[in-house]
Every structure is written in structure tokens, then in C-alpha cells.
Structure 1
């Protein structure tokens, strides 16, 4: 649902989709899509672990009740941790703006 209905921001290594819900009591949630086009299981798991670490760093910047899905593109297999952080950080800062009531 996040990928279909949320706002999307693309880069050369990842595509980030963000959907803000009305449930502000719930902590932000993150999901990852890493297909076999990225690489074998070892590479996919490395990319997933890096993305999880990036999201843990950015958790304080994401408002509560927000769902974030990050789809890794094949270029993410050769990207460094810093490169992935830059892509994800740029998209989250652009898309996950807190809702002002």
C-alpha cells in the first residue's frame, strides 16, 4: 500500500516511498524490497543490513505514524554505506515532513 499510494523519491541506488498515516501514536515503520536483480543472497543481505542501519540513524527525523518502504536497485549492490545513507537521507528529508495541525 505504501508503494502504491505513498509519495516516492528515486535515486540511482534506491527508491523510497513514504506514506503518512493518521495514527500518530505508532512509531515509524520501515520495510525493504531487495530483489534478486541486486545480487546473490550474500549481497542482498549486506544491502538490507546497511539500509536498516541507515534507517536506525534517521529514525528521529521520521514523524510517528509514518510508513517508509525502500526498494534497492541493482546499483545498490556496489554502493558504499555512505552512498546509501546519502540517497535515503535525501529522500526521507524531502518526503517525511511532519504534519502541522
Structure 2
């Protein structure tokens, strides 16, 4: 479980990260990343009804959270990440989601 300090919870933060962040698209997700300096890295998740019903959306959100929790030590500090789940993420396995997020974060780090 992500600690409170590692979660994006404010709607204004979601909007700012989505608009200003570097964007990486994958088959199952879209990542938006903004560097924030020395603050702890934070993750936010957008899982809309297009992904599926409430049970499916919550399962996708839990998988995304678990993937981000495992990647948190490698990410370091100073990044805000918003992950938008695409409808295909409902059928994706956890390992697939984790590898896509890791590749996306890695490609953004290489571009910076």
C-alpha cells in the first residue's frame, strides 16, 4: 500500500500533472510525469468507467497501486506521476502492467 505522502489526492494536482507532465503511452496505460524537486514521489490513478464496472475498476486500481509500490524505491524522490488506465488494462496481468509502468518511467527519465 502506498503511504499517504506517496499519493496524489487533490483534483488540482491531478489536473496540473496531466496538463504539464511529460506523457508516455503504452498499450494499457498513459503516464504523465512532472518533476517536483526534493519532495517524495507521488502517484495518482485515473480509472474511468470505460475500463469496466466498479469491481473491475477497483481491481485495476489495486494492481496499478501494487506495481507503483514495488517501483517506488527505484523511482527515487521528486516525481509526481498520474497513471490513466485504458480499457485494455482490465484484461492485463499484473506483471504486464508493472513492466509497462517501469518502461514508461524509464523512458521519461532518459528524455530528461
Q: Is residue 8 from structure 1 mapped to residue 23 from structure 2 by the alignment? A: yes
Contact 1:28–1:64 at 8 Å: present in 2 too? yes
Structure 1 residue 96 displacement after superposition: 3.7
- Contact 1:15–1:72 (CA under 8 A) maintained in structure 2: yes
Match of 1:64 in 2: 77
Q: Which of residues 67, 74, 89 is equivalent to 1:76?
A: 89
Matches within 5 A, 1:1-101: 1-22=16-37, 24=38, 26-96=39-109
- Alpha-carbon RMSD: 1.3
Whether contact under 8 Å (1:7, 1:17) holds in the other structure is yes
- What runs of 5+ residues in structure 1 fail to find an aligned partner? none
What are structure 2's unaligned runs of at least 5 residues? Answer: 1-15
Q: Which has the higher helix share?
A: 2
Which structure ranks higher in relative contact order (CA pairs < 8 Å, sequence separation ≥ 6)? 1
Question: Normalization by structure 1: what TM-score?
Answer: 0.89
Structure 1 stretches of 4+ with a deviation exceeding 2 A read: none
